[in-house]
Amino acid sequence: MFILYMVHLADLVAKHQMNFHSFADDPQIYLHCRISEVSSAVSKLEDCISVIGHWMSANRLNQNADETELLWVGSRHNLASLRSCTPSLQLGEDVIRVRDHVRLLGVTVAADLSLNKHVSSVCKTCFFWLRQLRRVSRSLDTESLKTLVNAFVTSRVDYCNSVLASSPKTITDKLQRVLNAAARLISGIGKYDRGLSRLFHDELHWLGIPQRVQYKLAVTVHRCLPSQVPTYLADHCIPISEAPGCQHLRSARRQQLNVPCVRRVIGRRAFAPAGPTVWNSLRDNLRDSTVGPDQFQRELKTQLFACLLNISSTVR
């Protein structure tokens, strides 16, 4: 029933010339503005939320100001300029203060779009469960311990890990230490014992954090091509053969995707450039449209393992 209401809510937001996105009962309103336009942007937000509040009251819904959060996203320089004017929202008698980070579907989004808070939160939770599992590990067989580790640890590491695309190594190394600790727990080897790499790849068949991110992006793009995902993802997966002026390129015959140009380093983390970039790096046989989902995932993992082994041999 609530989904039917959300259709009308999107129309209300569109009338105020703002963007709207919703996951079930978690709607978000956002707009882009310059530093000089912050005051007018705040007024537009207040007017839009006020209209939404009246609409919700008319439909016997409650707008909870305690659950309403405001986040200004930008570069550190722009965010420093905003601190002097503190652009909060005035919604009737309630004042919505600016937050330095918000939690969106389990992902902690910081104002400067850094991932330190999110990764630190995931690592904290995972290490907590590893400590709990270590206490009962002697009473469990290996398969049961693997099941519990996958349920409480690796599932949290893999959740929404596509946001880690093009992240620096300092970020991914934190999550890699979680997987290393989980592998040592399953095998029972010590922290400074050798053989962790062989155990990690050969026995557990686990990919490293960068490869897990590439896996998630590639699988998402594979689902985008037959339009099995929402349009806000599928619209970013445009074959080069359909891009204007690119139909005669050799990459168009190889079923590669168009990668948009980005001006900033942080822009590379968006799905629009990150997804097609990972897709174009796959072998030609994997980009074949006739490959089914199960076969694609198996061959994709094989390719990622092969690349990982080549990197390891090169380092040695």
pLDDT (tens digit, 0 to 9) for every residue of the chain, 316 residues total? 344 556 677 788 888 888 888 776 678 888 888 888 888 888 888 888 888 888 888 877 777 777 888 888 887 887 887 776 768 888 777 788 888 888 888 888 888 888 899 999 999 999 999 999 999 988 989 899 999 999 999 999 999 999 998 888 999 999 999 999 999 999 888 776 776 777 777 788 888 899 999 999 999 999 888 777 778 888 888 888 777 766 666 666 777 888 888 887 788 888 889 999 999 999 888 888 778 888 999 999 988 888 776 654 444 4
pTM score: 0.83
Instruction: Extract long-range pairs of 129-132: CB within 8 Å, 24+ residues apart.
Output: 129/153, 130/178, 130/181, 130/182, 130/185
- Both 89 and 188 in one domain: the answer is no
Picking from 41, 76, 110, the residue at the C-terminal end of a domain is: 110
Picking from 150, 178, 206, the residue at the C-terminal end of a domain is: 206
Residue 215 lies in a domain: no
Residue 7 lies in a domain: yes
- Both 28 and 70 in one domain: the answer is yes
- Both 307 and 242 in one domain: the answer is yes
Residue 216 lies in a domain: no
Q: Report the alpha-carbon distance of residue 57 to residue 182 in Å, rounded.
A: 49
- Both 133 and 183 in one domain: the answer is yes
Q: What is the pLDDT of residue 90?
A: 81
Q: What is the pLDDT of residue 227?
A: 73
Picking from 90, 110, 130, the residue at the C-terminal end of a domain is: 110
- Both 86 and 123 in one domain: the answer is no
- Both 11 and 103 in one domain: the answer is yes
Answer for the pair 6, 22: CB distance below 8 angstroms, yes or no. Answer: yes
Which residue type does 105 have?
A: L
Q: What is the pLDDT of residue 151?
A: 94
- Both 179 and 243 in one domain: the answer is no
- Both 92 and 127 in one domain: the answer is no
Residue 201 lies in a domain: yes
Say how many domains are in the chain.
Answer: 3
Residue 218 lies in a domain: no
Q: What is the pLDDT of residue 105?
A: 83
- Both 40 and 57 in one domain: the answer is yes
Which residue type does 227 have?
A: S
Residue 152 lies in a domain: yes
Q: Report the alpha-carbon distance of residue 8 to residue 14 in Å, rounded.
A: 10
Structural domain that includes position 8: 2-110
Q: What is the pLDDT of residue 248?
A: 64
Residue 179 lies in a domain: yes
Token pair recorded at residue 164: 């880690």
Residue 197 lies in a domain: yes
- Both 91 and 120 in one domain: the answer is no
- Both 101 and 120 in one domain: the answer is no
Q: What is the pLDDT of residue 314?
A: 45
Q: At residue 252, what are phi and psi to the nearest 5 degrees? A: -70, -35
- Both 148 and 165 in one domain: the answer is yes
Q: Report the alpha-carbon distance of residue 150 to residue 140 in Å, rounded.
A: 14
Q: How many CA atoms lie within 13 A of 111 on its CB side?
A: 16
Using alpha carbons, select from 243, 232, 239, 221 the residue that is nearest to residue 300: 221
Q: What is the pLDDT of residue 251?
A: 64
Q: What is the pLDDT of residue 128?
A: 96
